[in-house]
Amino acid sequence: MSWVLEEMKARHWKEVLSTADDPDIARAFTFIANLNRVNWQYLLSSGRGRAALCIGEGMGTTAHALSGNYATVVATEQVLARVDFMRRRFEQDEIENVRIVRAKFPDLPFAKGSFDLVVFNGVLEWLPSGQPSEPPAEVQRASLRKAFRLLKPGGHVYVGIENRWCYEYFFGAKDPHIGVPWVTILPRWIANWRTRRVTGRRYDTYLYGRRGYVRLLRRAGFTEAQAFVAKESYNNPETIVPLTGGPSEYFFRSIDVKPQRAHRRLAQAIASRLGLLGEMQYAFVVIGTKP
Ligand SMILES: C[S@@+](CC[C@H](N)C(=O)[O-])C[C@H]1O[C@@H](n2cnc3c(N)ncnc32)[C@H](O)[C@@H]1O
């Protein structure tokens, strides 16, 4: 990051990232520059005259994409280098309606009812690691309650996150946050024991299934809470599909068909038979509405 920030003094951020020799930077570039990641915003009503808040905004992609639709956007981030990156990115792209706040959620300097949209994209699962003495699920619940208070009536919360019950985890795929297999699908106390053995730290990047996310949002006060499948991921949601019903069935049978190994085909056929195909995809976008 310090190399990138230094280079950005003389060159545009896109040029710096896209021409870097480091393959990690090149990979990050496609993801940091892709504003289409935030097209879920068009599922909501127009942002004209409205205010959005992005929690844990990272390198600024969501705030950048929202800035063309919302009147004002606040991007909060705790890591200084990312705050500096965003500041230079928005300056270079002449984006004037994004305010960057270096802060650690939930300690934010905003009054109740300040926003029409609060965004947690790839963040809700990380929040417990910032409060290691609190139970992880309680940190996540309290975070959503805080988002609820920050929203105006009729406002929305958006959560982009992985699915605990993705079928790949049943074949031993590693958890995408801590790189340990099985932990997402194990009971939490066993996942904790296993994570401590492997990494020396507690297991706290809690994921949930569709019902778990909807329950979290409802308990925080959101009356309407709906989850969609984000294919291939919430970080690159080329398609956002309802979990059940005709359009979902059509999508999984006609569009989301690619060559698979036999055991995966079998797992998918069983999930489909049980009506659970949508429930076992990799990632969700979940949208809640404050009454
Ligand atoms: C996986 S990244 C996601 C970044 C961005 N939201 C995106 O979608 O590209 C998680 C980000 O959340 C930030 N973060 C984690 N806990 C935070 C907290 N308590 N307050 C503010 N930011 C936090 C991290 O510094 C990191 O930039």
- Read off the CATH number of the domain in which 65 is found: 3.40.50.150
pLDDT beyond 80 at 264? no
| pLDDT tens for each residue of 9-20 | 999 999 999 999
Instruction: Identify whether residues 22 and 147 lie together within a single domain.
Output: no
Tell me if 61 CB under 6 Å of ligand 1: yes
114: left (phi over 0), alpha (psi -120 to 50) or beta: alpha
**How many CB atoms are closer than 10 A to CB 80?**
10
pTM, two decimals, is 0.95
- If one compares 258 and 118, the residue with the highest pLDDT of the two is 118
Nearest CA to ligand 1 atom 17: 56
Tell me if 125 CB under 6 Å of ligand 1: no
Beta bridge partners of 233: 236
Tell me if 57 CB under 6 Å of ligand 1: yes
Instruction: Identify whether residues 66 and 183 lie together within a single domain.
Output: yes
* Token pair recorded at residue 277: 């195909």
Instruction: Identify whether residues 89 and 212 lie together within a single domain.
Output: yes
Strand 151-162: give its sheet, edge to edge. Answer: 98-102, 72-77, 51-55, 115-121, 151-162, 283-289, 224-233, 236-242
Instruction: Identify whether residues 65 and 139 lie together within a single domain.
Output: yes
pLDDT beyond 90 at 273? no
How far, in Å, CA of 44 to CA of 156, rounded?
A: 8
Instruction: Identify whether residues 220 and 279 lie together within a single domain.
Output: yes
pLDDT, average across residues 109-131? 97
Beta bridge partners of 227: 286
Instruction: Identify whether residues 193 and 121 lie together within a single domain.
Output: yes
Tell me if 176 CB under 6 Å of ligand 1: no
Instruction: Identify whether residues 25 and 120 lie together within a single domain.
Output: no
pLDDT beyond 70 at 259? no
Instruction: Identify whether residues 125 and 193 lie together within a single domain.
Output: yes
pLDDT confidence tier of residue 93, bands split at 50, 70 and 90: very high
Alpha-carbon distance values, 254 to 170, 249, 250, 258, 277 (Å): 24, 8, 6, 10, 14
Instruction: Identify whether residues 12 and 155 lie together within a single domain.
Output: no
**How many CB atoms are closer than 10 A to CB 275?**
12
Compute the distance from residue 213 Cα to the ligand 1 centre, in Å.
19
Nearest CA to ligand 1 atom 10: 123
Q: State what percent of residues in the chain have pLDDT above 90.
A: 81
How far, in Å, CA of 110 to CA of 123, rounded?
A: 19
Instruction: Identify whether residues 210 and 232 lie together within a single domain.
Output: yes
Structural domains of the chain, count: 2
Compute the distance from residue 77 Cα to the ligand 1 centre, in Å.
6
E strand intervals along the chain: 51-55, 72-77, 98-102, 115-121, 151-162, 224-233, 236-242, 283-289
Instruction: Identify whether residues 98 and 23 lie together within a single domain.
Output: no
pLDDT confidence tier of residue 45, bands split at 50, 70 and 90: very high
pLDDT beyond 80 at 260? no
- CA 182 from centre of chain: 21
pLDDT beyond 90 at 275? no
Instruction: Identify whether residues 89 and 133 lie together within a single domain.
Output: yes
- Domain with 161, as residue range(s), is 34-289
